[in-house]
Amino acid sequence: MRWFVFTIALLPALTATARADDATMAPPCAMPIAATLADRPGTGRSTSTGGAPCVALPGEWVVETGVRRQITTDAGGSSTLASGPLTLLRAGVTPRLEIAIAPPEPESRAIAGRAPVDAARGSTDMVFAAKYLTLDTARAQGSIGVSYSPPTGSGEFTAGAPTFSAGANLALAITAHISLAMSQVVGTAIGADATNRNRRYFVYAPSYTLSYALTSNDTVIVQDALLSRQSPILPAGNRLVFAIQHAVGTQLALDLDVERNLSPTLGTASNAVGVGLVWIVAPGHARR
């Protein structure tokens, strides 16, 4: 809740900054640049309304994909979770609206150091999403979005019931090199309760991302992604992500990510690495 209050307190200052923009600076979302669209799927963030505030231009087709490997260790052994490809397909519909679909993502889990050894394979639920651009100035960009995920996955990786989310994204250019982005997402999730029966529960998931542009093509990114609950009976989660993003021209951006769970289950440690890319397959029309 303190993060929500912090964000609300910042809104007047961010709005004032946007109004003070230099008229000669072009709004980032009005230009077809892959780096401004990247949600960085390699970090393992759920595909929903969180991420970049910019949307695809009208007629534009964007592909995001990546892979992720997470290792969780405790006194008894380790668990490896491999995810990928983490694909998101985005299409610009109107000057401010995009729709997106995330196909089921293959996942596998293997446990070592315990007897018996356990392994599982399956896929996550697919996601349908829409995002609407509400603000696009030289120094500030904002959007709102919704998503719906039907239980289309398999094995232990499907929620087993529909889930929903809604959220808002805001980005601010503080200097020519430093920018701050915030996502505030609320939604539902499915998880096991104390009797090991799955039930729906409410999730609040804010994230805060600080970026520093080393060059015109390379950016260092630090993100703090929080989660109000990790299951109906588990406490809040907190993941710290460090990423390096490289833009290859205007239509392709690559990233390398390292992630650490700052709030793992008691007695465990969890770390992950990932790579991802965002590619503008078909450039769209300039936003007017």
Q: Which domain holds residue 265?
A: 2-14+35-281
Is residue 226, in this structure, part of any structural domain at all? Answer: yes
Q: What is the CATH number of the domain that holds 149?
A: 2.40.160.40
Q: Is the peptide bond before 116 cis (omega within 30 degrees of 0)?
A: yes
At 16 the three-state DSSP class reads helix
**Residue 220 belongs to what H/E stretch?**
strand 218-227
Is residue 200, in this structure, part of any structural domain at all? Answer: yes
pLDDT in tens, 186-219: 999 998 888 888 899 999 999 899 999 999 999 9
Q: Average of pLDDT values for 24-31?
A: 71
Is residue 207, in this structure, part of any structural domain at all? Answer: yes
Token digits for 192? Answer: 């096991």
Is residue 29, in this structure, part of any structural domain at all? Answer: no
Is residue 288, in this structure, part of any structural domain at all? Answer: no
* 193-215 residues labelled b (16+ CB within 10 A) or e (exposed): eeeeeeebeebbbbbbbebebee
pLDDT in tens, 254-273: 999 999 988 877 678 889 99
Q: Which residue has the higher pLDDT, 282 or 286?
A: 282
Question: What is d(CA 287, CA 54) in angstroms, rounded to the nearest whole number?
Answer: 12
Question: What is d(CA 78, CA 115) in angstroms, rounded to the nearest whole number?
Answer: 12
Report how many domains make up the chain: 1
Radius of gyration of the chain (CA): 19
Is residue 22, in this structure, part of any structural domain at all? Answer: no
Helix/strand number for the chain, H first, E second:
1, 15
| CA atoms lying within 13 Å on the CB side of residue 197 | 2
DSSP conformational letter for 205: E
Is residue 265, in this structure, part of any structural domain at all? Answer: yes
Displacement of CA 102 from its chain's centroid (Å): 12
pLDDT of residue 286: 65
8 Å CB contact between 112 and 132: no
Q: What is the mean pLDDT of the chain?
A: 83
Question: What is d(CA 255, CA 117) in angstroms, rounded to the nearest whole number?
Answer: 33
- Strand pairing of 127-136 and 140-149? antiparallel
**CB-CB neighbours of 227 under 10 Å:** 20
Displacement of CA 165 from its chain's centroid (Å): 13
Q: Which residues pair with 136 in a beta bridge?
A: 141
Is residue 161, in this structure, part of any structural domain at all? Answer: yes
156: phi then psi, degrees, rounded to nearest 5: -80, 0
pLDDT in tens, 213-241: 999 999 999 988 888 988 898 888 888 88
pLDDT in tens, 139-157: 999 999 999 999 999 988 8
pLDDT of residue 177: 94
Q: Which residues pair with 130 in a beta bridge?
A: 99, 146
